[in-house]
Structure 1
Amino acid sequence: MRDLHTDFVGLQTPWTTAVGRTGPRTYLDSAATTLAMRSALARREQLLLHYGSPHTALNAASNLCVEALRRAQETVLRFFGFPPDEYHCVFVGSGATAALNRAAAMLSRLHRDRPGVALSMMEHHSNDLPHRQACETVCHIPLMPDGGVDLAALERELAQHRAGYVALTACSNVTGALTPITEVAALVHRHGVHLLVDGSQLAVHRRLEAPTAIDAFVFCGHKAYAPGTPGVLIVRKALHDAAGPIELGGGMVHRVSQHGFELATDMAQRTHAGTPDVLGAFQIAMVLSRLQAHGFDQVIAHEQALTRRLLDRFQAMPDALIVYGDPDPSKRVGVVSFNLRGLEHPLVAWALAHCFNITVRHGCFCAQPYVRELLGVGQALDEPGEEAAQPGMVRASIGAYTTAQDIDTLVGALSDISAHPDHYARWFRASLAEDAQGRGRHRLVGQLDAICSMD
Structure 2
Amino acid sequence: MASTEQVEEQVAAVPPLTPSTASPLTPKQCRFSLLIETTDDFMPRSKTNLAGVTEDGGIEESDEDDNERILRYVEDNVVGNDTYFPGPFGEKQVVYCDYTASGRPLKFIEDYITNHVHPLYANTHTTTGLMARQTTQFRKESREIIKRCVNATDEDVVIFTGSGTTGAVHKLVTALELKGDRAKKTVVFVGPYEHHSNILPWKETGAKVVRIRDADRGQIDMKLLEQKLKYYQHKSRFLIGCFSAASNVTGIVTDTLAVASLLHQYGALSFWDYATAGPYLNIDMNPVIEVEDDDENEEMESLDFSKDAVYLSPHKFVGGVGTPGLLIAKKKLFMNAVPGSVGGGTVLYVTRDTHRYLSNIEEREEGGTPAIVESIRAGLVFRLKEAITPALIEEREHDLSLLAFKTWRRNSNLIFLGSKRAERLPIFSFLIVHAPSGKVLHHNYVAALLNDLYGIQARGGCACAGPYAQDLLGIDEPMAEQFADFLVDTTRDEELANKGKKKKNGKMAPKHKALEIMKPGFTRLNLPFFFSPDVTNFVLQAVDDVATNGWKLLPQYDFDMYTGNWIYRNPKSESEDSPQGSTASLGDSLLTTTFVKGKFKAPPSPFVSRKKYVQTTKFQEMLQIASVFYSEAEAKCNEVPDLNQDDEFINGVGDPNMVWFLQPHEALAHLRDPNLDQTDSGSAAPLRLKVKNVPFKPRQSTARGSRFSRRSRKSHKNQAKETGKQTMKMCTVL
Q: Which runs of 5+ in 2 are unaligned?
A: 1-26, 31-72, 288-305, 435-440, 490-513, 560-565, 572-580, 602-734
Structure 1 match to 2:346: 252
Structure 2 match to 1:354: 452
| TM-score normalised by the chain length of structure 1 | 0.91
Matched-pair contact (CA < 8 Å) for 1:107–1:243: no
Structural mapping, 1:59-208, within 5 Å: 59-83=129-153, 85-107=154-176, 109=178, 114-159=185-230, 160-161=232-233, 162-208=237-283
1:447 Cα deviation from its structure 2 partner: 5.8
Name the CA distance, whole Å, in 1 between partners of 2:239 and 2:176. 8
Cα deviation, 1:153-184, whole Å, max 9, x if unaligned, reads 22222221345311111100001111111111
Structure 2 match to 1:19: 89
Structural mapping, 1:156-305, within 5 Å: 156-159=227-230, 160-161=232-233, 162-208=237-283, 211=286, 213-225=306-318, 226-241=320-335, 245-305=339-399
1:202 Cα deviation from its structure 2 partner: 1.0
Name the CA distance, whole Å, in 2 between partners of 1:201 and 1:129. 18
Matched-pair contact (CA < 8 Å) for 1:105–1:134: no
3-state SS of 1:362 partner:
strand
Task: Quickly say closer, same or farther: Cα 1:12–1:297, change in 2 above 3 A.
Answer: farther
* Amino acid aligned to 1:333: L
3-state SS of 2:557 partner:
helix
Structure 2 match to 1:427: 556
1:256 Cα deviation from its structure 2 partner: 1.5
Counterpart selection for 1:327 from 420, 428, 433: 420
* Structure with higher strand content: 1
1:237 Cα deviation from its structure 2 partner: 1.5
Task: Quickly say closer, same or farther: Cα 1:75–1:446, change in 2 above 3 A.
Answer: closer
Counterpart selection for 1:397 from 526, 531, 551: 526
User: Is 1:7 aligned to 2:77, yes or no?
Assistant: yes
1:109 Cα deviation from its structure 2 partner: 3.5
* Amino acid aligned to 2:84: P
Identity rate, percent: 24
Cα deviation, 1:73-124, whole Å, max 9, x if unaligned, reads 11111111112x1111011112111111112232353966732311112100
User: Is 1:338 aligned to 2:430, yes or no?
Assistant: yes
* Amino acid aligned to 2:515: E
* Amino acid aligned to 1:218: Y
* Amino acid aligned to 1:158: L
Cα deviation, 1:408-436, whole Å, max 9, x if unaligned, reads 22232233333334432122228637699
1:370 Cα deviation from its structure 2 partner: 0.4
Matched-pair contact (CA < 8 Å) for 2:84–2:91: no
Matched-pair contact (CA < 8 Å) for 1:28–1:402: no
Name the CA distance, whole Å, in 2 between partners of 1:145 and 1:448. 50
Structure 1 match to 2:97: 28
Matched-pair contact (CA < 8 Å) for 1:108–1:135: no
3-state SS of 1:341 partner:
strand
Task: Quickly say closer, same or farther: Cα 1:112–1:357, change in 2 above 3 A.
Answer: closer
Counterpart selection for 1:443 from 581, 585, 588: 585
Matched-pair contact (CA < 8 Å) for 2:260–2:270: yes
Task: Quickly say closer, same or farther: Cα 1:209–1:183, change in 2 above 3 A.
Answer: farther
1:331 Cα deviation from its structure 2 partner: 0.5
Name the CA distance, whole Å, in 2 between partners of 1:271 and 1:80. 20
Moved more, 423-432 or 41-50: 423-432
1:248 Cα deviation from its structure 2 partner: 1.0
3-state SS of 1:432 partner:
strand
3-state SS of 2:349 partner:
strand
Cα deviation, 1:175-202, whole Å, max 9, x if unaligned, reads 1111111111111112212111010111
1:365 Cα deviation from its structure 2 partner: 0.2
3-state SS of 1:429 partner:
strand
1:441 Cα deviation from its structure 2 partner: 7.8
Task: Quickly say closer, same or farther: Cα 1:289–1:452, change in 2 above 3 A.
Answer: farther
Moved more, 34-43 or 277-286: 34-43
1:243 Cα deviation from its structure 2 partner: 6.7
Task: Quickly say closer, same or farther: Cα 1:74–1:387, change in 2 above 3 A.
Answer: same
Matched-pair contact (CA < 8 Å) for 1:92–1:230: yes
Name the CA distance, whole Å, in 2 between partners of 1:178 and 1:185. 14
Structure 1 match to 2:515: 387
1:403 Cα deviation from its structure 2 partner: 2.6
* Amino acid aligned to 2:418: G
Matched-pair contact (CA < 8 Å) for 1:306–1:404: no
Q: What number of residue pairs does the alignment pair up?
A: 450
* Amino acid aligned to 1:73: R
Task: Quickly say closer, same or farther: Cα 1:44–1:69, change in 2 above 3 A.
Answer: same
3-state SS of 2:243 partner:
strand
Larger radius of gyration: 2
Name the CA distance, whole Å, in 2 between partners of 1:185 and 1:345. 36
Cα deviation, 1:117-169, whole Å, max 9, x if unaligned, reads 11112100111111111233111111112221112222222221345311111
Name the CA distance, whole Å, in 2 between partners of 1:252 and 1:316. 59
Matched-pair contact (CA < 8 Å) for 1:164–1:194: yes
